[in-house]
Amino acid sequence: MVFLRLYKPKVSQLVLNIDTGNCITDAKLYPVFAFLNLSQGQFNINFMGQNQFILPIQNRPILVIRALINT
């Protein structure tokens, strides 16, 4: 737990593009994802069977080393 507190990576973007395979579930998730697009990230529901999750994380090696030493 201490390691997570000291080590804070930077997330530059969040992309989530999913298809559940069930058109009813996709239709129910569509307004939720539209609401999430207003605040943060890029969330999409598609009806074509494509799934994509992108979460690039940036960190500096010195921060990782310092977090390991301090724990």
- With beta carbons less than 8 A apart as the criterion, state whether 61 and 5 touch: no
Give the model's pLDDT for residue 1: 47
Letter string b/e over residues 27-63, b meaning 16 or more CB atoms within 10 A of that residue's CB: eebeeebeeeeeeeeebebeeeeeeeeeeeeeeeeee
In the DSSP assignment, the letter for residue 54 is E
* Global confidence as pTM: 0.61
Helix (H/G/I), strand (E/B), else coil: 67: helix
Q: Which range of residues forms the domain containing residue 7?
A: 2-70
Task: List pLDDT tens digits, range 21-67.
Answer: 998 999 999 999 989 888 777 898 988 889 999 888 777 777 778 77
The structural domain count of the chain equals 1
